[in-house]
Amino acid sequence: MENSKFLSVQNISKTFKTDKGNVHALDDVVLSMTDGEFLAVVGPSGCGKSTLMMIVAGLLEASGGKVRIRGEKVVGPFTDVGIVFQNHVLLDWLTTMGNILFQTDMRRLPRNRYEERARELISMVSLEGFEEVYPYELSGGMKQRCSICRALLHDPPLLLMDEPFGALDALTRDQLCIDLEKIWLQTEKTVLFITHSVPEAVQLADRIIVMTPRPGRIYKEIMVDLPRPRYEEGIESEEFFHLVEQIKRSFLEQGVLRK
């Protein structure tokens, strides 16, 4: 039944009106997520991945179709959610702790009741000792760790992540993938993860949605049945490489990749 699903995306389409005409970003996208699932969406640039995430969050209105979260139709900004963008979006004048606790100011929550929660999250992502440091003193990876903590502070059931590691170097991305999987295993959040990185999707997700070029449609759905945690043995397994190649082959089939 529909109400048994945590997230239900039903025949979503989106067309943007521009000075040069209409841009058809998404077409008839149908997907669902169960409570606690980690779903990754991969696809070429411009296929509407981020647009889909914004529609799920209620921050962008769909041209057609509907989104339901726990059975309730999303008709405006969905507030019980944490969002992590590719850019950390930290406030320069606040420390690490201040940026994380900024959630309490936005949501009018009692700040003192969330300080311990903030320290637990800081420990979870190995930012101890940087609580009173300002963003300009942090590395790119540290900034993203801080933004993840901020997104999780109010303990939302849904975490939306829009290419959160895309601007980072390879080693930092690897470490943040390890950190994110650890956080997800501990918190059991429902995660919708947008990425361009096929190995990143396979390392993190329970299930992967492969999108077509614009207008974005679902081309293929791939289950990832690998043991967790996946770093080390998991990413070196034959099954891991088979899944990566299966997704890349789907892009070859669509002409996104050319031999």
The 3-class secondary structure across 2-14, one letter per residue, is HHHCCEEEEEEEE
Distance CA 8, CA 233 (A): 34
DSSP assignment letter at 153? T
> Helical H runs in 24-169?
49-56, 96-107, 115-124, 140-152
Contact between 159 and 85 (Cβ < 8 Å): no
pLDDT of residue 1: 39
Residues of the chain falling short of pLDDT 70: 1-4, 232-234
Q: pTM value?
A: 0.92
222 token code pair: 């791939």
Domain boundaries, given as residue ranges, for the chain: 2-80+159-254, 88-156
> Helical H runs in 37-127?
49-56, 96-107, 115-124
Contact between 123 and 155 (Cβ < 8 Å): no
pLDDT of residue 233: 67
CA distances from 50 to 41, 138, 143, 193 (A): 9, 26, 21, 10
Identify the CATH homologous superfamily for domain 2-80+159-254.
P-loop containing nucleotide triphosphate hydrolases (3.40.50.300)
Residue 243's nearest CA partner among 42, 44, 9 is: 42
The C-alpha angle with vertex 56 and arms to 15 and 99, in degrees rounded to 5, equals 120
Residues contacting 223, CB < 8 A, separation 6+: 206, 207
Distance CA 12, CA 29 (A): 5
pLDDT of residue 110: 87
β-pair type (81-84, 72-73): unpaired
